[in-house]
Amino acid sequence: MSPNILFAPDVGVNGCALNGEHLEVGVMESAKKKYENVEDVIRYQLMNRRDALRTGLGAGAAVLFGGGLLGACSSGGGSYSGEGRNAPEGGEEPVVGRANIPTPRDQTLVIGQVDYQVFNSFNIRIPNGVQSGNGFDVMVREYLFYLNLPTGELIPWLATGYEYNADHTTLTFTFDSNAKWSDGQPFTSKDFKFTVDLMRDHSELLGGGGDLKDFVKNVSTPDAQTATLELTRANPRLHYGFICTIASGFDVLPEHVWADKDPTNFRDNPPVRTGPYMLDRAIASQKMFVWKKNPNYWNKEKLDPKPNYVIYQSTAQSQDAASQAFRRAEFDVGSLDEEHAKALRSQSYQNLITTPFHDPCPRALWLNCDPARGIIGDPRMHWVISYVIDRAKVGTTVWPVKTPAAQYPWADYDGNDKWEIAEVASQYKMEYDPARAASLLDEMGATKGSDGKRMWKGKQASIEIITPSTVDGAEFVIGQLIVGELKKLGLAANIRSYSGSVHSEKWERGEFDISSQWVCNVSWDPNQLYTSLQTRYAKKIGTNAVGRNQVRLRSPRLDQLSSQLDGMDPASPQAKQPLQQALAEYYRTLPVIPVIQTAYPAYYNTTYWKGWPTEDDLYQVPNNWWGQFMFVIGKLEPTGRK
């Protein structure tokens, strides 16, 4: 369970129950605090890990409607001044280095992030169309609503409220009349309609189709601040898809910019959005994105950040170098791992704040199910892989902080307890058992020869693992451990780390045996994962999967059960049996193997900026790649350091 995620009671807007029964939901008064049922919202939205999306570190399904980013900081690239020295003994403050940035340091928030590859495009709708973790999702894109997970507070933003009719066949949003795009044009209901229509009618776009295609018949705009979605059938939870929860949410596009563009190749550079920051420049040679404050930002009364500039920059490939850059205050966020944070604490480094937060995405392996990929296409091989994972070792020695093993492909939040089915899980234990793995290989006909090699269909059985993680990243190390175990069993095995854009292409095209990464599909109920794996989404190897069923699973039984569950309230008694059967079929085929849960500390430097979230004052999501981090930036104050 996550000690930092506090779930609100079963109340929705204006105290209405969000239990699938009759709802009378009124338009929210933005001046008051409103609380969503965090469990319901998180369960509803379909999302993949930040680095598993589009560009950055892999292409996966976007957030339910609009594409969101998830993940943890990793290292790669970047440049540093090399100035500064270690702190003197006794815990004195170290010499501060001159950050290698083109803006005044005391006016700039500097955030360390992943190895950037894409610098000239901001189109989240296409593979490799935008660089993940570059700040765009945090300070440039804004969302209709934000959900503060630590508190359960729903924050109206571009929208001031929503309302269903009595039978939940229409959903009406009202928008803030003050909202403006960064080019000064008004944000209106027509922009919203344009985006919904675009995403509903273009399933080839990442985040396209989905629930918009399934549920939205028409969008009407009676005035500039009102849009009504006419639904094909009742859906009292559709509004969840428009809330920024894990990382980000539905991205409304400016119609006046996008209307005459081909969304499949438009670069959207520079991006026009409504946020408090605009693109100043992207510097490929320094792997850096420089964002500057929008002087005409529409919502200054509620949010007026103090940093005039925010820079997202790749950290150094060497964690030692990245840590030294943090120590010299060349970075305010990121650029640090737990090992080096411990060293700084032991030296009484005074400017470090460590804030724990439980990530919603277990580390996981995705296994190709297509027979064209060889032995990995046999579901028994999937269990061979599971049995050679020493999860206790991974959770205590590989992950930087102690993390429990994962049995289910979802986070171990309190709200997910109801989806656990012990009688099924007990038959399919995620346990370390190399002897059983060897027995399964024998059963498959992959027996050992006199040379110790296992042959399968006339040649040595082989497995290749790919990962978007750098070679010192935990996902890479997890893959290395598995490779070692497979070699002991007589298989040929190797692991390759690919840059974000290369991994993204291989992931979507099914050109892999195993991908070592994470699973973030279950945020409403397990059927989100099952539905995304339906046969109708399985493409031929070499064809872009466009965000669904990248593992090419073809299970008629899971298809039938997930289709049945699509029309059910997952918490209803009627759903109990098909959920149990679907979980059993998932375990039988095991297209994604949960490895461990994920605990992520956030590290902040207080040399130049103060007001960070802490364990004692977790006022907002602390992760710098989540959309909610905009409010953290808005809370910061300069220390006066020059």
- Mean pLDDT, range 24-52, rounded to an integer: 39
Q: How would residue 633 be classed by pLDDT, with cut points 50, 70 and 90?
A: very high
The whole-number pLDDT of residue 32 equals 36
**CB neighbour list of residue 518: distance below 8 Å, 6 or more residues apart:** 49, 52, 70, 71, 361, 362, 363, 364, 475, 598
4 or 276, which is more confident: 276
Whether pLDDT at 43 is above 80: no
In this predicted structure, the answer to whether residue 38 has a pLDDT above a threshold of 60 is no
Note the pLDDT tens digit of each residue in 268-319: 999 999 999 999 999 999 999 999 999 999 999 999 999 999 999 999 888 8
Task: Tell me the CA distances in angstroms from 418 to 412, 487, 556, 582, one per residue in order.
Answer: 11, 39, 26, 15
pLDDT digits (tens, 9 = 90+) for 461-499: 999 999 999 888 999 999 999 999 999 999 999 999 998
What is the rounded CA–CA span in Å between residue 465 and residue 637? 45
CB 253 within 8 A of CB 261: no
Q: What is the mean pLDDT of residues 368-386?
A: 97
The answer to pTM > 0.85 is: no
Name which residue leads in pLDDT, 57 or 392: 392
pLDDT tens digits for range 559-572: 999 988 876 778 88
Say which residue, 39 or 320, is predicted with more confidence: 320
CATH of residue 442: 3.10.105.10
- From 580, 567, 530, 571, select the one nearest 420 (Cα to Cα): 580
User: CA-to-CA distance for 122 and 203, rounded, in angstroms?
Assistant: 19
Q: Is 313 part of a structural domain of the chain?
A: no
Q: Which two tokens stand for residue 401?
A: 């902080």
Checking if the pLDDT of 28 tops 80, the result is no
User: Is residue 363 a contact partner of residue 518, using CB atoms and an 8 Å limit?
Assistant: yes
CA distances in angstroms from 157 to 145, 151, 212, 220, 479, listed in the order given = 5, 17, 21, 21, 41
Q: How many helices (H) and strands (E) does the chain have?
A: 16, 23
* Percent of the chain's residues with pLDDT above 90: 67
Tokens of 74: 């990793």
Q: State mean pLDDT over 37-48.
A: 44
Look at 503 and 74; give whichever has higher pLDDT: 503
Using alpha carbons, select from 555, 560, 570, 547 the residue that is nearest to residue 209: 547
Task: Specify the pLDDT at position 360.
Answer: 78
3-state secondary structure of 642: coil
For residue 638 the two structure tokens come to: 């300069």
Phi/psi at 435 (5° precision): -65, -40
Q: Is residue 507 part of a domain?
A: yes
Higher pLDDT, 138 or 67: 138
Query: What SS3 class is residue 327?
Result: helix
| Tokens at 375, concatenated | 């032995």
Give the mean pLDDT of the chain: 85
| pLDDT digits 0-9 by tens, 84-104 | 333 334 445 566 877 889 999
Over 80: is that where the pLDDT of 62 sits? Answer: no
Domain contains 218: no
**Three-state secondary-structure class, residue 575:** helix
Give the model's pLDDT for residue 547: 86
Q: What are the b/e assignments for 153-183, b being 16+ CB within 10 Å?
A: bbbbbbbbbbbbbeebbbbbbbbbeebbbbe
Does 564 map to a domain?
yes
Q: Are 582 and 568 in contact (CB under 8 A)?
A: no
DSSP 75-132: -----------PPPTTTPPPPPP--S-SS-GGGEEEEEE------S-B-TTSTTSB-T
3-state helix, strand, coil in the chain (%, to 5): 30, 20, 55
Q: How far is it, in rounded angstroms, from Cα 435 to Cα 445?
A: 16
3-state secondary structure of 358: strand
| Rounded Cα–Cα distance for residues 272 and 184 (Å) | 10
Q: Are 173 and 161 in contact (CB under 8 A)?
A: yes
Residue 359 confidence class, pLDDT cut points 50, 70, 90: confident
User: Nearest Cα to 112, choosing from 359, 342, 319, 346?
Assistant: 319
Q: What per-residue confidence (pLDDT) applies to 342?
A: 92
In what side-by-side order are the strands of the sheet with 243-244?
A: 34-35, 153-156, 145-148, 243-244
- 13-22, 373-382, 531-540: which has the minimum mean pLDDT? 13-22
Please, how many CA atoms are within 13 Å of residue 525, restricted to the half-sphere of its CB? 22
pLDDT at 68 (0 to 100): 34
Average pLDDT over residues 253-280: 97
β-sheet bridge partners, residue 605: 352
609 vs 316: CA distance, rounded Å = 22
β-pair partners for 170: 230
Res 78: pLDDT: 37
**Average pLDDT rounded to a whole number, residues 554-562:** 97
Residue 234 lies in a domain: no
User: Quick one: average pLDDT of 593-611?
Assistant: 94
Alpha helices in 248-404 (DSSP H): 255-258, 319-327, 338-346, 379-387, 391-393
Domain of 405? Answer: 363-596
pLDDT(45) > 50: no
Give 291's strand partners.
279, 310
Residue 164 lies in a domain: no
> How would you class 435 by CB atoms within 10 Å of its CB: exposed for 0-12, middle for 13-18, buried for 19 or more?
exposed
pLDDT digits (tens, 9 = 90+) for 437-461: 999 999 999 999 999 999 999 999 9
Contact call for residues 187 and 221 (beta carbons, < 8 A)? no
Q: Quick check: is 552 in a domain?
A: yes
What's the whole-number mean pLDDT along residues 121-137? 92
Q: Report how many domains make up the chain.
A: 1
How long, in residues, is the chain? 642
Q: What percent of the chain has pLDDT over 70?
A: 84
Lowest mean pLDDT among 20-24, 79-83, 332-336, 343-347: 20-24
Asked, for residue 9, whether it belongs to a domain, the answer is no
> What is the per-residue pLDDT for 415?
67
pLDDT over threshold 70, residue 49:
no
Note the pLDDT tens digit of each residue in 147-192: 887 776 889 999 999 999 988 899 999 999 999 999 999 999 999 9
